[in-house]
Copies of this chain bind each other. A is one copy, B any other.
């Protein structure tokens, strides 16, 4: 990283904090990864994300919708069917998650030696 002025430092920190905010917390990442394989219903996501309560899952899904990472589609059936899927913007997280995984693996090797 070349010599950055103080203002450039701060301009750097804000977007990085935004990205960490979106992925941070106990459940967001697992919900995003669960949705990385196509649209799912609430019950399917709840099953894949072990340990999450219905209340927490609906809160996380609302947050992800607000952040335009997930879209919610209601199908006109009886009873109505609701599906959740990653938006194109949500799918743009795949590359970042891959980079985080790669660095996390490296970090484990360096710190734990395995």
Chain A interface residues toward B at CB < 8 A: 1, 3-4, 6, 9, 12-20, 22-24, 29-30, 33-34, 36-37, 48, 67-68, 89, 92-108, 110-111
Are A20 and B107 touching (Cβ within 8 A)? Answer: no
Are A111 and B48 touching (Cβ within 8 A)? Answer: no
Are B93 and A16 touching (Cβ within 8 A)? Answer: no
Are A17 and B104 touching (Cβ within 8 A)? Answer: yes
A-B contact list, 27 entries, CB within 8 Å:
A1-B33, A1-B36, A1-B94, A4-B36, A4-B37, A9-B30, A9-B34, A12-B101, A14-B104, A15-B100, A16-B29, A16-B100, A17-B104, A18-B104, A18-B107, A18-B108, A19-B101, A20-B24, A20-B29, A24-B24, A67-B111, A68-B111, A92-B103, A93-B103, A95-B99, A96-B100, A99-B99
Q: In the assembly, how many copies of this chain are there?
A: 2
A59 to B28, CA, bound (A): 28
Q: A22: which of B3, B12, B101, B107 is its contact (CB, 8 Å)?
A: B107
Nearest Cβ distance between residue A104 and chain B, in whole angstroms?
3
